[in-house]
Amino acid sequence: MFPRQVLWAILSLSICAFNASAEDIVKQVRKAVELSTLDQSKTAAFHLKAELAPSLDRDKDSGRTGDVEIWWAAPHRWRREVRTSDFHQIQIVDGDRLWQKNEGDYFPEWLREISNALIRPVELTPDLTDRIRGAEVKHLMGNTYLSRALMSSNGDVQKSMGGGISFTDATGRLFTANGLGFGGWFRNYKDFHGRQVAQVVSAGSPEVTARIVLLEDLGQTPAAWFDASANGDDTKSIETEVLSENDLRKNLLPMEPISWPVLKDGPLEGALTTAVTIDRSGKVRQIESIVADNPGVNNVAQTQIAAMHFKPFVLNGIPVQVVSRVTLAFKSVRPPGVETVESAHTQFERARRAGFPAAGTRSPYILHAEFQTRGSAGAETTGHYQDTWISETQWRREATLDQSRLVRARNGDKLYRLAEGPEEKILAFVLMATEPIPAIDTFVESDWRTNPDIVDGVKTMRVLSGYESPDGKLDPEHARAFWFDPAGNLVKTFFSGIETDRLDFQDFEGVSVAHLINVFQGGKLAMRIQITGIGPVNAVPKDTFALKGHEWTPAFTSEVR
């Protein structure tokens, strides 16, 4: 009856804060970067080929397809050839000499970044090292994550964009990196003479994946293969520089005031930002994902930023391409006659109070539930869930299945987490499914959009983040959605390809509690959670809420409790 694949990968399992000094973290990052960097002294000379293609099928027509080939003898003696349908470059570096031949006048930034990431994932500049020292550090599922907000400003408003670096604890290998002018997701590592080289690197938006199809010792090359003094090169090479927005705007030519669209929901005023690439003539050639306080302005912002024009940026007398940020302020109005749609924040908080006793009642209670699913052994089995709530600072949630159990508890200011047995993921899912509404401080309002929908013949309001195809299909990896009925009850959810339907609402002290939760994956029923009882709590043992030895600091979880 129940398929085994009921759990989804993004559940926040085995999570905790990570305590280490800033200098220790810098050392760990430096070690991870050096381990994965081919472009450094003492690396064995190599020949590398990689094929590039969009990561997702929906982006197959983006034009981001090509290949990279590198012949590398030393950090200052190498040859690289990159090719796409619109651009082809051969570049030779020999000491302080550069030879470059280009077919096309613009080196696409996505191509430059992923070509660099194959052999030099991150360049640890002094500025980046300082950012690492000041980064927020978290530990999640065997990886250490360093995150930081990268601020930009047009002189009047500021807007942040996320950036960071992560590495895998067990191996010390670089996992992800993201910043202005560099970035990637690194996986499928293989050893090459002591260097750990990611065979698959993904980066950009739309995302491109580079797969190394050949990495071998350099071997014999033609006599003039690294000759940077040969005839036939371009007199003006294509170079790319990273600039601050303040320096970028010094070359911005006058433009018409922006006419922002009317907004039926979300904030009417705010800011937005994105990364841009400017070619040698001053034209905007690439715009990354826009981060806005209201995504309803994104299309107009995209058009306006694309229409910006700059005086050419010149370095040492030669025009260069530029990577920078653009920040804009917006101000709009509601369309006449259109009903104002409430924010995701408002709908989440109302539904939490309306349907979940831990938020909607001040009376202590104890709730019991059973759930049916298949365990890791494949057999259908029954588990149990219990929620004991005294107050916001004294509660315990426990799920058990066969010989496994997962407990989350709070006693005063201390949080606890205890996990035992092989079914931890299933039990974590049960805790998430019974209280799925995300904590308000874990999401950005602008990531969510709201629209009316019908669920089983009932008018609902859907709150969605992530990708939705033109035919209404939600991205199973990135989309999250919540449906609320006219009374504010949460009746349906979708995350990581898993759908839950919430049924049989019954009153408990003014809170309308769903007594049946059906879980579907791939259109098939994967789990059924049934509340068997809820009522006032009697006396509980003193050690119910404190789990000594299992103190827990949450990180990277949207769970409220």
Tens-place pLDDT, residues 305-337: 999 999 999 998 999 999 999 999 999 988 887
What are the start-end ranges of the H helices in 270-402?
298-306, 344-355, 357-360
Q: What is the pLDDT averaged over residues 53-80? A: 95
Give the residue from 378, 398, 380, 379 showing the smallest Cα distance to 388. 398
Q: What is the pLDDT averaged over residues 458-466? A: 93
Does residue 18 surpass a pLDDT of 50? no
Give the whole-angstrom CA distance, residue 78 versus residue 80: 7
Confidence of residue 135 (pLDDT cuts 50, 70, 90): confident
Residue 1: predicted pLDDT: 42
Does residue 19 surpass a pLDDT of 60? no
Neighbours of 150 (CB within 10 A): 17
Q: Which of 324-328, 340-344, 360-364 has the lowest mean pLDDT?
A: 340-344
Token pair for 513:
């509690």
Residue 529: predicted pLDDT: 98
Residue 12: predicted pLDDT: 37
Confidence of residue 273 (pLDDT cuts 50, 70, 90): very high
Confidence of residue 527 (pLDDT cuts 50, 70, 90): very high
Token pair for 283:
């034209």
Q: Which of 218-227, 233-242, 549-558 has the lowest mean pLDDT?
A: 549-558
Q: What is the pLDDT averaged over residues 278-287? A: 97
Give the whole-angstrom CA distance, residue 259 versus residue 297: 10
Residue 5: predicted pLDDT: 42
Residue 443: predicted pLDDT: 75
Q: Which residue has the higher pLDDT, 68 or 296?
A: 68
Residue 482: predicted pLDDT: 97
Neighbours of 411 (CB within 10 A): 18
Region for residue 491 given its phi and psi (left: phi exceeds 0; alpha: psi -120 to 50; beta: otherwise): alpha
Task: Using only the alpha carbons of the chain, give its radius of gyration.
Answer: 27
| Cβ 511 vs Cβ 357: under 8 Å | yes
Does residue 142 surpass a pLDDT of 90? no
Q: What is the pLDDT averaged over residues 412-429? A: 94
Residue 362: predicted pLDDT: 77
**Helix or strand holding residue 24 (H, E):** helix 22-36
Q: What is the pLDDT averaged over residues 175-179? A: 94
CA angle 129, 134, 135 (to 5 degrees): 95
Give the residue from 456, 429, 455, 397 showing the smallest Cα distance to 529. 429
Give the whole-angstrom CA distance, residue 85 versus residue 250: 33
Confidence of residue 340 (pLDDT cuts 50, 70, 90): low
Confidence of residue 338 (pLDDT cuts 50, 70, 90): low
Confidence of residue 272 (pLDDT cuts 50, 70, 90): very high
Question: Which domains are seen in the chain, by residue range?
Answer: 15-217 (2.50.20), 240-331 (3.30.1150.10), 344-536 (2.50.20)
Confidence of residue 419 (pLDDT cuts 50, 70, 90): very high
- For the sheet with 365-374, list strands across it: 414-420, 404-411, 394-401, 380-391, 365-374, 524-536, 511-521, 498-508, 490-495, 480-484, 458-465, 449-455
Give the whole-angstrom CA distance, residue 29 versus residue 418: 30
Q: What is the pLDDT of residues 364-375, one digit of tens each?
A: 999 999 999 988
| Cβ 555 vs Cβ 140: under 8 Å | yes
Does residue 9 surpass a pLDDT of 50? no
Does residue 201 surpass a pLDDT of 80? yes
DSSP 8-state assignment for residue 290: -
Does residue 396 surpass a pLDDT of 50? yes
Torsion angle in degrees (nearest 10) through CA of 437, 414, 138, 244: 80
Q: What is the pLDDT of residues 477-500, one digit of tens each?
A: 889 999 999 999 999 999 989 999
Q: What is the pLDDT averaged over residues 432-460? A: 88
